[in-house]
Chains A and B, each alone.
Chain A
Amino acid sequence: MIAAGELHSIAALAQRDLTKLLRDRARLITTIIFPFIFIGALGGTLSANFGRAPGFDFLTLTFTGVYAQTLFQSTAMGMISLVIDRENDFSQELFIAPVSRYTIIAGRILGETLVALPQALAIIAFGLVIGIPISPGQLAALIGTGLVVAFFGGAFGVLVLAFLNNQRAANQVFPFIFLPQFFLAGVFAPIQVLPWYLEIASRIAPLRYAVDFVRGVFYAGSPDYQHVVLEDPATNFAIIAPAFVICLVVGTFFFVRSERNR
C-alpha cells in the first residue's frame, strides 16, 4: 500500500509540471495547435479523397488515432523533463528527498499526463468542430482511455530515457522511436492487412495497443468497429497494464541507477 506521504508527493510533483506548462504560453499554444494540423490537414485530405469508400469514416479513424498518439507521445516526450532537471541541477533536490524513487517518477508521469490533458480536450473540441459525431458516452470513453494511454506513454518514456544521458540525445532518439510507430500503430490508416514483417514490427510497437485501445472503446457498438478495431479493449488493456508496470519499474531502476552509479 502506498503511504499518504508518497501520494502527497506525487500530487506536488505533478502540479509542478502543470504549473510550468500554464506559465509557458508559447508551449501551451504549440502543443494544442500541432494535433490540429494532423487531424485537419491529413485526416481532412484522406477523408476528402476516400470518404467512406473503405467502409468507415476516415476522418473519425484519424481523429481517434491522433488523439491516442498525441497523448501517448506527449507524456512520453514530456519525460524528457527528467533529463532537463538533471541538466539544470534540479534533480538533485528531488533525488535527495526521503521518498521512494518510484514516487518521484510516478509524480512526473502524472504531471506530464496533466500537461497532455489540455491537448486532449482541444483535440476533442476540434473533432466536434469538424463534425465528428461524439456521443456523451464516447466523450467519457475518450477521456478515460486517454488517461490510460497517457500513463502508458509516460512509463514508456521513462524506459527510453533511462538509457539516454542528455536532452540532446533524447531529442534525437525520440523521433526515431515515434515516427515509425505512427504507421505501425495505424494512427492515420488502418493496419488490418500488413506484410508479415510489418506485422511483427507493428506488434512490437506500444503505440499500436494504445491507439487500438482508444478505438476499441470509442467504436464499441458501432458498425465501423469491425473495420477499424484490431483487438477488443480488454485484450489491449491486458497488454497495456503489465507493459506499463514493466516500463515503470525497469525504467525507474535504470534511470535512478544512471543517476547514482556514475
Chain B
Amino acid sequence: MLATKTPLAVDLPLGSNTIVVTDLVKRYKGAELNAVDGISFSVREGELFALLGPNGAGKTTTISILTTTLVPTSGVALIGGHDLARDPSGVRRAVGIIFQKPSLDLNLTAEENVRLHAILYGLFPYRPFFPLMPVAYRDRVRELSAILGIEREMFKPMKTFSGGMKRKLEIVRSLMHRPRVLFLDEPTAGLDAPSRRALWDYLREVRAETRATVFLTTHYLDEAEDADRICILDKGKIVAEGTPAGVKRDLTHEYLVVDAADRDALRLELAGRGIAHRETPLFEIPLDGVGAHAILRSIDTPLTTVRTVAPSLEDAYIKVLAHS
C-alpha cells in the first residue's frame, strides 16, 4: 500500500512526451564553458528515464533547470505541458524532486517536515498542531509512517533518522502532491547497499502504483539498467541515448571466450575457418549475429574454457565516455 493510491491526474495520453527539452544551454556566471551545451531530449509519460554521466557532466545542472531552481542561459523546456520560462509555477506543481543533498529541516520532526510541504503545496490548510490538521491529512501521515515503519519516529526530530530513512521520507514527501514527474538526483548517493536496495524496492512500488514519470540521475550504472531509456551526458553534451539494451548493442558486443590446452592449434584453426578473434590472452570471438553454438560446433580443437560475455551498461558507458 502506498501513499499515492489515487492515479495521478494525467492529461497527456500514456506514451506521449511529458518532458520535452530543446537546445538547453547553461553557462554559469564567470564560466568559460557551458555546463549544459545545447541538449535536446524528451521523456515519455510513465517512463523511467536515467540521465547518466561523470561528475561535472551537467546532470544536476539539467535537473536544477527542469525543476525551476536554476535559470537556463537559453533553450526551451516543457514539463507536463508547462513552459519552464513562462509557467514555472505550473512546472512546480507538476513535479516532485529528491535533491542530491537531503533537503529536510533536521530541527523539525518528520511529521512537521511533511506538514510544511503539504501546506506549501496547498494540499491542506495551515493548522499549528498535528491534532488540529484535517482528518484526511492525519490519516495520510499515519499511512505513510506505517509504510516506512516509523510510526513512533514520525513525531521525533529528524536528527535521529538514518540516511536511508531520510531519503524515504523525502520520497514520501515529494509524492504528497501527486506529481506527474518525479525527479531523483542521485537518490542513493551515500547510502549503504541494503539501504540502496530497500529504496529501489520502494521506488518500484511507487512507480507501479502511481505511474509517475521518473527522471533519474545516478552514478550507479546498475540502477540505470532498469530504465526504459537512458541518456549519457559528458561535458554538457549528449553522447549516447536510447534504451539500455540499445546503447549496449550500439557500443559493445557480446562475445565468446574460449581457450585450449593447445593454443597454437586453436589459433590456427580459428584463422583457417576465418573466425575473427583477439587474444587477451584468452580467445575472444565477437558474436555479431552469429550464435555461440554454431561457432563452438565448428571448432575441433579440444577446449578448456568456454563462456559467453554480455557487456554491462557500465562497459558501454565507459566506452562512450572514452570516445567522447
Chain A contacts to B: CB under 8 angstroms:
4-5, 7-9, 11-13, 15-16, 19-20, 23-24, 88-99, 259-262
Contact = CB atoms under 8 A, between A and B. Distances in A.
Interface string B156-178: 01000000000000000000000
Contacts of B92: 96-98
24 contacts: A8-B119, A8-B125, A9-B126, A12-B116, A15-B128, A16-B108, A16-B116, A19-B107, A19-B108, A90-B103, A90-B104, A91-B103, A92-B97, A92-B99, A92-B103, A94-B120, A95-B68, A96-B67, A96-B95, A97-B92, A97-B120, A97-B121, A260-B70, A260-B71
Q: When A and B form their complex, which 10 residue pairs have the shortest distance between CB atoms, in order from nearest?
A: A8-B126, A97-B120, A98-B92, A93-B103, A12-B119, A5-B122, A89-B101, A11-B126, A98-B93, A92-B103
Nearest to B100: A89
A90 B28 CA distance: 22
A16 B105 contact: yes
Contacts, number: 85
B120 A99 contact: yes
Contact of B70 (A4, A9, A23, A262): A262
B160 to A, nearest CB: 14
B68 to A, nearest CB: 6
Contacts of B103: 89-93
Nearest to B29: A262
Nearest to B102: A89
Nearest to A100: B89
Interface of B is mostly: loop
B69 A90 contact: no
Interface residues of B, number: 34
Nearest to A24: B107
A260 B120 contact: no
B117 interface: yes
B69 A259 contact: yes
Nearest to B157: A23
B112 interface: yes
A94 B121 CA distance: 10
A23 B126 contact: no
Given A98-B120, A260-B71, 12 more contacts: A5-B122, A8-B119, A11-B119, A12-B119, A16-B105, A20-B108, A88-B105, A91-B103, A93-B104, A96-B69, A97-B121, A261-B71
Nearest to B126: A8
Nearest to A103: B120
B44 interface: no
The winner among B103, B121, B128 for most chain A CB atoms within 10 A is B103
Nearest to B28: A262
Contacts of A24: 107
B115 interface: yes
A198 B16 CA distance: 67
Given A93-B103, A262-B28, A12 B115 contact: yes
Nearest to B123: A5
Interface in B14-28: 28
Contacts of A96: 67-69, 92, 95, 97
A98 B116 contact: no
Interface string B30-71: 000000000000000000000000000000000000011111
A261 B29 CA distance: 8
B232 to A, nearest CB: 25
Given A15-B128, A96-B69, A98-B92, A89 B99 contact: yes
The winner among A20, A24, A99, A262 for most chain B CB atoms within 10 A is A262
Nearest to A257: B71
A49 B103 CA distance: 54
A261 B26 CA distance: 10
Nearest to A94: B120
Nearest to B109: A19
A13 B115 CA distance: 11
Nearest to B113: A93
B70 A12 contact: no
Contacts of B112: 16, 19
Contacts of A99: 120, 122
A21 to B, nearest CB: 10
Contact of A95 (B29, B69, B125): B69
A111 to B, nearest CB: 12
A221 B102 CA distance: 56
B69 A92 contact: yes
Contacts of B29: 261-262
Contacts of B117: 93, 97
A9 to B, nearest CB: 5
Contacts of B121: 97-98
Contacts of A262: 28-29, 70
